[in-house]
Amino acid sequence: MEAGNLVEILVATHNAGKLAELRAIASPWPVRLLGLADRGIELAVEEDGDTFDQNALIKALALHQAAGGWVMADDSGLCVDALDGAPGVHSARFAGPDATDEDKISLLLQALDGLEAEKRGAAFHCSLALVSPDGRTRIYRGKTLGSIALVPGGAAGFGYDPVFIAAGGQRTLAQMSPEEKDAISHRGRALRALLQAEFPIGETGRGDL
């Protein structure tokens, strides 16, 4: 569905923080991102894939079957070197299905207790699956290298942001402004790649639709 000159894309999320972040990143492009709550959709999908790509595609295809049109779903997670890539695809459920962000952060810091800074390397990964109205699928990816802080810092963002320090920086993602975080985040990189490929902005600053 198109609203004026904007292409509406339904995003498979109930996470208000994630949706606000995606909307801010997408603001230069000729798209309008809608969350599941905007359409009154309840989507229960078992994310049983082994990779971020698989889980993103599982969600996107389920949503496309339910709603049609343009749909998008992401699967993102934190991969910690010292934990052999964990929590990875289980990042959201790392401390159990009903755990809060604080619970997940606390468990992560416990798992890394005693490790010095140079052994706390990590990376945020994001896979974004896009399904067009005719059912074609594409996947775009983003990655941000960094490390896990010794203690949480900052109140912005969500998820593991308070303990993730991007490579070359000294502040956590939760200590950055939204604009600073969006410029370097895994989700920002994946979404910009998707939007530029699918809805490119021309020299006039308008989408070439």
- Residue 144 in domain: yes
Parallel, antiparallel or unpaired: strands 2-3 and 121-131: unpaired
- Whether residue 150 lies inside any domain: the answer is yes
For residues 125 and 76, give the distance between their C-alpha atoms in angstroms, rounded to a whole number. 5
Q: Render pLDDT for 27-51 as a digit per residue (tens, 0 to 9).
A: 999 999 999 999 999 888 888 899 9
pTM: 0.87
Residue at 209 is within a domain? no
* pLDDT per position as a tens digit, 2-27: 555 899 999 999 888 889 989 999 99
In a domain? residue 84: yes
Active site includes 75? yes
Q: Which CATH number goes with the domain that contains 11?
A: 3.90.950.10
| CA gap 77, 92 in Å, rounded | 7
Instruction: Choose, from 48, 50, 53, 75, the residue flagged as catalytic.
Output: 75
pLDDT score of 207 more than 80 = no
Containing 89, the helix (H) or strand (E) segment is none
Domain assignment present for 203: no
Q: How many domains are there within the chain? A: 1
Whether 104 and 97 have beta carbons less than 8 Å apart is answered as no
Residue 208 lies in a domain: no
* 204 in any annotated domain: no
For residue 33, give its domain range: 2-198
